[in-house]
Amino acid sequence: MRVRLVLAAVLVSAMAVAAGCGSSSSSGNGGSGSNGSSGPSLPQSIGPLEGSLNLIAWQGYTEDNVVKPFEKQTGCQVNVKYGQTSDEMYKLMQSGNYDGVSASGDASNRLIASGLVSAINTNLISDFGDISPQLQSPPHNTINGVHYGVSYQWGANILMYNKTVVSPAPDSWGVIFDGTSYKGKVDAYDSPIYIADAALYLKSAQPDLKITDPYELTQPQFDAAVNLLKKQHQQIGNYWSSFTAQIQDFTQGSIVIGPTWPYQLNTLKAAKVPVEAVLPKEGATGWADTWMEYSKAAHPNCMLKWMDYATTPEVQAKTAYTFGSAPANPKACAILDKQVKNYCADYHVTDPNYFDHISFWKTPLSECGDSRGNTCVPYTEWFQAWTDIKNS
Amino acid sequence: MSTPTASAPFGARRRLSAFFYRHRWLKLLALLIPPLSWIVVVYLAALVVLLATAFWQQDELSGQIIHTFTWDNVRTVKDDPTLHAVTRQTVQMAVLVTITDILLAFPLAYYMARVASRGVRALLFVGVLMPLWSSYLIKAYTWRLMTGDAGTINWALAKIGLGPLHIAFTTTAMWLAFTYIWLPYMVLPIYAALERIPGSLIEASSDLGGRSWRTLRSVIMPLALPGIAAGSIFTFSLTLGDYIMVDLVGGNKTDFLGSVIFRYQGIANDLPLAAAIALVPVIVITIYLLLVRQLGAFEAL
Amino acid sequence: MEPRPVRIGLRIFSLGVMAFLYIPLAVIVMASFNASRIPTWPIKDYTLHWWSLAMHDQHARTALENSFKVGLAATAVALVLGSAAAFALSRFRFFGKNSLSLLLVLPIALPGIVTGLSLLSAIEYLSLTPSLVTVAIGHSTFCIVVVFNNAVARLRRSSSSFEEASMDLGADGWQTFRFITLPNLATALVAGGLLAFALSFDEIVVTNFTAGAQQTLPLWIYNQFRLPNTAQEVNAVAVFVIALTAVPVYLAQRLMRESGGIGGRG
């Protein structure tokens, strides 16, 4: 099935921006405030606050314990519209009614490419230097050294299984992609971006496909991933999109194996459900969210102040705890570990090698970002393939 | 009761009412224009524009809708095998749920209207009405809990030495949940239709030697049919347009028409194609409405 | 009168259907006391935690208030427009009368997503800011038919001869309406209004398309499910709402029964 692409616009213009944007994210570039000498001129200070701030956020990112102190400190009254999906957030940003958004990697590149978000002078973010190096300038929010936002929270999509049912303990994604032992009791993440998980597996399982980056797939590579998912569809019990639902499914035994986030794992373990999780040998995909400012924001100074505030250890810790995520600023660990034993160790916040195994979500563009040029499958086609997969 | 004195407002009112009495068509207009214009302005205009969008194009670069006629979107919908499968899945479920609800609701409504004592009837009436007040979403989530492999249903089955069944995320689970959620919408109109049948009519039938079965078939059913048809408008169309249950109870494994429309509009931002897909339920429902109108459904909603 | 075995059979069957309707509600009530943060069955430990959370949740309270506001506004509009349409259709004959009833049914018969999408396009076209007002406008559209149907059924059953007699006896149009038509119609309007309010109160699809930043209760619930630590609070809120509405629903039913003599069972 075809989607005609409104996004095509975005993707065409994206090529210009994305040219030169390499695929390797793990090394980072230190991110020491390269505030884009080549980019647009950026504000050098935060101007008078406007008294109001309209945000689009994931539910859990703007709880009262975070918002109320901010309102008190700055006088910026915060209004929040919750986004249900990355795609909805993108659409809400197009409406022009909001100052900023907590964008995931599968939305952030689109937002940058379509000029909906503005470059940020990271010198105005006091704790920017404390953010994990890999998240200071990741490819999903930093293009050519220009920062389009500050990282907030992240998580990895690891493989969780029920110990009493799944045996032997898996060490590869193959058990849910190629296996048939748990038919009807396997789950998968319900989003086109999940195609990248299949691609990541194929990268190791079928080296002859020569997959280099699970978000930069040529047509044959993409087709192989889609076919794998169509085959997997026969095994699937549930495609989950809310983590509360997944927690319920594992508790009830309706699902025994599938990709998850550390939060579900820890909650289930705390509830004495016999689950365990691994970072499979192929590595894993992951999500990382970025606060981004609308390019024509009505309240830009309140938004900058918000990004500054959101990076502080206290706020990072509060949100990580509520949302069940890893904070982008490891300084939050001092607070988190006091609240929950081993929080940061469980979420691998302080393990620099962990990032090497995670391919963070980013928007697939037709420009591959390497010598292959303009031959990759763009997100719009990922989208239509997803409908076909689910009804195959 | 106020006495008809010649107070000024009263006189004016009287003249006004006399005026309306003489010009009945004016009264008709006064009654008709507000609801009609509301429906036409707020709803129909918006609906027509939406459906017209199905025949428009979208600029690939700007995403703006261009008002140039095209069959492309409709052709896509017509020729796409995935959408055919989705339509089939959705209509099948809507029919199945409607039939199940009729089978469950008719005897209950009959009992309420014709057998139960006044007190019991009142209790049952409130009893059927109350579930409408508990959130649809929470009921849907509860069905997810109940149909889980270690859920309420398997727990209860185990107590009587049966099971376990694997109904989590199956069509069966969705069928149970849909049937449950829309059931009150079927009971109420059937009850209303049955309650209206004069008892004398049924007595006459049995006096004339009609057996219970015959009375049911020849006297009660024809009179109850509008109620059944009215209830089925709710169960059929509410199921046909749903997309939340597919997610919460059905495991999101297959799409319903609603889910596809939702994705293409809200996520792909392709309004013309979403509108073209929306034509499918609009056509299905319109045919259905014309059919049930023949059965007198609109008099019994 | 039905034969005795038939009546007993009907009673047992009805009992079964009522059990089907109420077992899930019982599960919700019990879940609201489940100490686990995860929905589980059977429940091992009980707690009042979710109840105290719900009672002090300002967001839940605001959402509940918003839902009441929207529901009342939508019901009010539906009562006026629905009964006007019912009068027009039952007391007059005019061209296109049959199509009108089809037109009124359309907003509820078409999938909510189609209605929601249409309204959203209209809101965007008119550059309105989505708010509780737009939600109420959307809700009234599909609530009209519920009031209309209840009113039209009653009007059809009661002949217009009472009204004519009233006019013949010298009452003016208003008096006739106030003392003859309205009392006759009142119970039907209560029934229609109740259903309309219930429809609006629990609506999520159209609401999702027409709402701005303010949440109604279903939107709050939908979002709350995504918060792992407090998701189970929704059960307590749901039970609270059922309890809150039980009394008015029961009273309304009594009211309808007491004045329901006109045109009742013959």
Segment B69-79, tens digit of pLDDT: 888 888 988 88
pLDDT at position B297 is 65
Q: How far is A1 from chain B (nearest CA, A)?
A: 6
Pair type for strands A236-240 and A284-293: unpaired
Q: How far is B235 from chain A (nearest CA, A)?
A: 24
Q: What is the CATH number of domain B81-299?
A: 1.10.3720.10
Asked if the model's pLDDT at residue B266 lies above 90, the reply is no
SS3 B106: helix
Same domain, A280 and A376: yes
- Spatial CA neighbour of B152 closest among C25, A326, A387, A135: C25
d(CA A187, CA A176): 9
pLDDT at position B5 is 46
User: Cα dihedral sign for B172, B176, B178, B183?
Assistant: positive
pLDDT in tens, A345-374: 988 998 888 998 999 998 888 888 788 888
pLDDT at position A309 is 97
CB nearest C38 (choices: A54, A60, A271): A271
A236 token code pair: 């699937």
- Residues of chain B found within 8 Å of residue A233, distances taken between Cβ atoms: 253
Asked if the model's pLDDT at residue A130 lies above 70, the reply is yes
Stretch B107-112: mean pLDDT: 94
Residue C165 CB contacts under 8 Å (≥ 6 apart), including other chains? none
- pLDDT band of A17, cuts 50, 70, 90: very low
Give the lowest-confidence range in B10-14, B39-43, B106-110, C81-85: B10-14
Asked if the model's pLDDT at residue A22 lies above 60, the reply is no
How do the domains of chain B map onto residue ranges?
81-299
Mean residue pLDDT of chain A comes to 87
pLDDT at position A264 is 86
The CA distances from residue A319 to A111, A227, A276, A347, A373, in Å, are 23, 38, 25, 14, 39
pLDDT at position A158 is 93
Same domain, A224 and A373: yes
Are C241 and B293 in contact (CB < 8 Å)?
A: no
Residue A14 domain-assigned (yes or no):
no
Reading chain C (266 residues) residue by residue, the pLDDT tens digits are 677 888 899 999 999 999 999 999 999 999 999 988 788 888 888 999 999 989 998 889 999 999 999 999 999 999 999 999 988 888 777 777 777 888 888 888 888 889 988 888 788 778 888 899 999 999 999 899 888 888 887 787 766 666 677 667 777 667 776 676 777 788 788 878 888 898 899 899 899 888 887 889 999 998 887 776 777 889 999 899 888 888 777 777 776 665 443 333 32
Backbone angles phi, psi at A114, to 5 degrees: -90, 10
pLDDT at position B264 is 82
B275 token code pair: 């509108």
Stretch A254-264: mean pLDDT: 90
Pair type for strands A100-104 and A77-82: unpaired
Asked if the model's pLDDT at residue A48 lies above 90, the reply is yes
3-state secondary structure chain C: CCCHHHHHHHHHHHHHHHHHHHHHHHHHHHHCCECCCCCCCCCCCECCHHHHHHHCCHHHHHHHHHHHHHHHHHHHHHHHHHHHHHHHHHHCCCCCHHHHHHHHHHHHHCCHHHHHHHHHHHHHHCCCCCCHHHHHHHHHHHHHHHHHHHHHHHHHHCCCHHHHHHHHCCCCHHHHHHHHHHHHHHHHHHHHHHHHHHHHHCCCHHHHHHCCCCCCHHHHHHHHCCCCCCCCHHHHHHHHHHHHHHHHHHHHHHHHHHCCCCCCCC
d(CA A142, CA A148): 6
How do the domains of chain C map onto residue ranges?
54-258
pLDDT at position C264 is 32
Chains touching A by CB (3 or more pairs below 8 Å): B, C
Q: Which residue has the tokens 């009653």?
A: C154
Asked if the model's pLDDT at residue B301 lies above 70, the reply is no
Q: Which of residues 150-209 of C touch B (CB under 8 A)?
A: 152-153, 156-157, 167, 170, 172-175, 179, 194-195, 198, 201-202, 204-205
Q: Which carries the bigger pLDDT value, residue B27 or residue A53?
A: A53
pTM higher than the cut 0.90: no
Q: Which carries the bigger pLDDT value, residue C161 or residue A193?
A: A193
Same domain, A293 and A269: no
- Spatial CA neighbour of B301 closest among C75, C263, C145: C145
Residue A357 domain-assigned (yes or no):
no
Asked if the model's pLDDT at residue A23 lies above 60, the reply is no
d(CA C140, CA C73): 8
Give the number of domains in chain A: 2
Q: Is C242 on the interface with B (CB under 8 A)?
A: yes
Asked if the model's pLDDT at residue A8 lies above 60, the reply is no
CB nearest B268 (choices: A3, A245, A390): A3
Same domain, A255 and A377: yes
Superfamily of domain C54-258: MetI-like (1.10.3720.10)
Tell me what percent of the residues of chain A surpass a pLDDT of 90: 61
B132 token code pair: 């409408």
- Residues of chain C found within 8 Å of residue A243, distances taken between Cβ atoms: 226, 228
d(CA A130, CA B291): 68
Residue A351 domain-assigned (yes or no):
no
Q: Which carries the bigger pLDDT value, residue C236 or residue B29?
A: C236
Q: How far is B269 from chain A (nearest CA, A)?
A: 7
pLDDT at position C158 is 67
DSSP state of A280: -
Q: Is A276 on the interface with B (CB under 8 A)?
A: no
Q: How far is C105 from chain B (nearest CA, A)?
A: 8
pLDDT at position B94 is 96
**Residue of chain A with shortest Cα separation from B261:** A387
Stretch A206-224: mean pLDDT: 95
Stretch A181-188: mean pLDDT: 93
d(CA B288, CA C102): 11
DSSP state of A376: B
Per the structure, the complete domain to which residue A172 belongs is given by 156-285+368-390
- Residues of chain A found within 8 Å of residue B253, distances taken between Cβ atoms: 233, 236-239, 390
Same domain, A125 and A76: yes
pLDDT at position B20 is 66
The enclosing domain of A330 has a CATH number of 3.40.190.10
Stretch B48-58: mean pLDDT: 84
The DSSP line for B121-147 is HHHHHHHHHGGGGS-HHHHHHHHHHHH
- Spatial CA neighbour of B268 closest among B140, B52, B76: B76
Asked if the model's pLDDT at residue B36 lies above 50, the reply is yes
Residue A22 domain-assigned (yes or no):
no
Q: Which carries the bigger pLDDT value, residue C13 or residue B40?
A: C13
Backbone angles phi, psi at A261, to 5 degrees: -110, 155
Same domain, A254 and A375: yes
